[in-house]
Amino acid sequence: MGFHRTRLLINPRLTCQPAATSDNVPLVQSRSAVAVSWSHSWISTAAAMWYVYIVQCADRSLYTGITKDLDARLAQHNAGDGAKYTRARRPVQLVYSERAQGRGLAQQREIAIKRMQTAAKHQLIANATGDRCANRDGL
Map out the domains of the chain as residue ranges. 3-40, 49-132
Tens digits of pLDDT across the chain (139 residues): 444 444 444 444 434 444 444 555 544 444 444 444 444 444 444 557 999 999 999 999 999 999 999 999 999 999 999 999 999 999 999 999 999 999 999 999 999 999 999 999 999 999 987 655 555 444 5
User: CA distances (Å), 35 to each of 6, 13, 25, 44, 82, in order?
Assistant: 7, 14, 13, 17, 39
Q: Give how far Cα 9 sits from Cα of 6, 18, 22, 44, 122, Å.
A: 10, 10, 19, 18, 48
Question: Could you give the CA distance from residue 30 to residue 12 in angstroms, rounded to a whole number?
Answer: 10
The structure's pTM equals 0.63
Q: What kind of fold does domain 49-132 have according to CATH?
A: GIY-YIG endonuclease (3.40.1440)
Q: Determine the Cα–Cα distance for residues 32 and 18; give it in Å rounded to an integer.
A: 8
Distance CA 99, CA 8 (A): 30
